[in-house]
Amino acid sequence: MQYEECIKCAKWSPRLSVLGNLLAAVFKFVVGVLAGSKGLVADSLHSAADAISSLFILISLKISGKPRDEDHPYGHGKVEYISSLVASVFLFFGATAIFLDALHTFSAGGVRGVPNNAAIVATIISLVYSYLMYSSNKCTGTQMESPALLADAAESKADSAASLAVLAGLIGTKMGFVHADTIAAVVVSLLVFHMSVEIFFTGVHGLVDVAVDKELLDEILGVSRAVEGVREVSDIKTRRMGQKNAVDISVEVPSNTSVLDAHRIAGNVKAAIQGRIGSVEAIFVRTVPEGTPWARRLVRNILDFRL
């Protein structure tokens, strides 16, 4: 269910992500360099990649919010999946840079000197901030069913995990483990690699018309079957279109139903779905006579009404 507050959050959350990730990147880099923490510097590169991908996500959300037009009858929602792919690419290259830098540090014999306490304080601040951003984007993305906002939330989650790894590395270095901070940088890179792959496949699945989840599918079926005159749902196809979904459904009506009544029932099915399920936007309804053999039903589907 979408609340008024969710719509407001969906408007401001991506903007705050861009600004917040940019400030976090600068903050981590400066403190990391001054405090001598390789892990914190590596984490700053992660935040910089997050800032760039969040900017693409913000742009995609603006485009996806455009109404349907003649050239885009299903709307512009799939742009959100493209932004997910872009975000995954930035994360992947960011992870590669972190990993290569950590390997170089290992070959050089580990860190020189022990990072001071400022690095630990900065990491804790970053951890708290990234978790708050994750909670905000996760809530908003779930309520709005936005793959772009959920990708942004996944980035913040990875940032939180990365900050935890950096914190563990700093504490380990303080305890005398020379390579602890560098190992933390490696862990950060692997976490970012993993997150980039997840986001990439989320974008790919959306672009190849992945179906809605089972819970929403069952809700659509239940609403359709409850419409007066509908005997059964004979066929249904769904696809995700960013924050909205498209439904192509065939319903069985009594065999003696007139063309006018069949048209009315199809309209009622469409109105019922639109009225009860806000995440469904494009709806195409066909009516077929109850018990029609498969071959005849196929012909009727082609010739029947599409609303």
In a shared domain, residues 241 and 259: yes
100 and 246 inside one domain: no
Confidence category of residue 307, pLDDT binned at 50, 70, 90 = very low
Residue 132 and residue 263 share a domain: no
Q: Which range, of 190-199, 211-220, 293-302, averages the lowest pLDDT?
A: 293-302
Query: Do residues 188 and 61 both lie within one domain?
Result: yes
Q: Which residue has the higher pLDDT, 63 or 131?
A: 131
Judge whether residue 212 has pLDDT over 70. Answer: yes
Q: What is the 3-state secondary structure (H, E, C) of the chain?
A: CCCHHHHHHHHHHHHHHHHHHHHHHHHHHHHHHHHCCHHHHHHHHHHHHHHHHHHHHHHHHHHHCCCCCCCCCCCCCCHHHHHHHHHHHHHHHHHHHHHHHHHHHHHCCCCCCCCCHHHHHHHHHHHHHHHHHHHHHHHHHHHHCCHHHHHHHHHHHHHHHHHHHHHHHHHHHHCCCCCHHHHHHHHHHHHHHHHHHHHHHHHHHHHCCCCCCHHHHHHHHHHHHCCCCCCEEEEEEEEEECCEEEEEEEEEECCCCCHHHHHHHHHHHHHHHHHHCCCEEEEEEEEEECCCCHHHHHHHHHHCCCC
34-43, 165-174, 177-186, 291-300: which range is least confident on average?
291-300
Given 207, 236, 259, the domain boundary residue is 207
Q: Please state the pTM of the whole predicted model.
A: 0.60
The domain tally of the chain equals 2
Domain containing residue 254: CATH number: 3.30.70.1350
Instruction: Summarize pLDDT for 226-269 with one digit per residue, the tens.
Output: 999 888 888 888 887 776 788 888 889 888 888 888 889 999 99
Question: Are residues 200 and 248 located together in one domain of the fold?
Answer: no
Instruction: Give the percent of the chain with pLDDT over 90.
Output: 2
Q: Are residues 242 and 197 in the same domain?
A: no
- Same structural domain, 41 and 79: yes
Domain stops at, among 157, 183, 207: 207
Q: Do 157 and 265 fall into the same domain?
A: no
pLDDT at 10: 66
Do 39 and 76 have their domain in common?
Answer: yes
- Domain of 114, CATH number, reads 1.20.1510.10
Domain check: are 176 and 248 in the same one?
no
Are residues 125 and 224 both part of a single domain? Answer: no
Residue at a domain's end among 207, 228, 250? 207
Over the stretch 28-52, which tens digit does the pLDDT of each residue have?
A: 888 888 877 766 777 787 778 778 7
Q: Domain span at residue 233?
A: 214-303
The mean per-residue pLDDT over the stretch 116-126 comes to 81
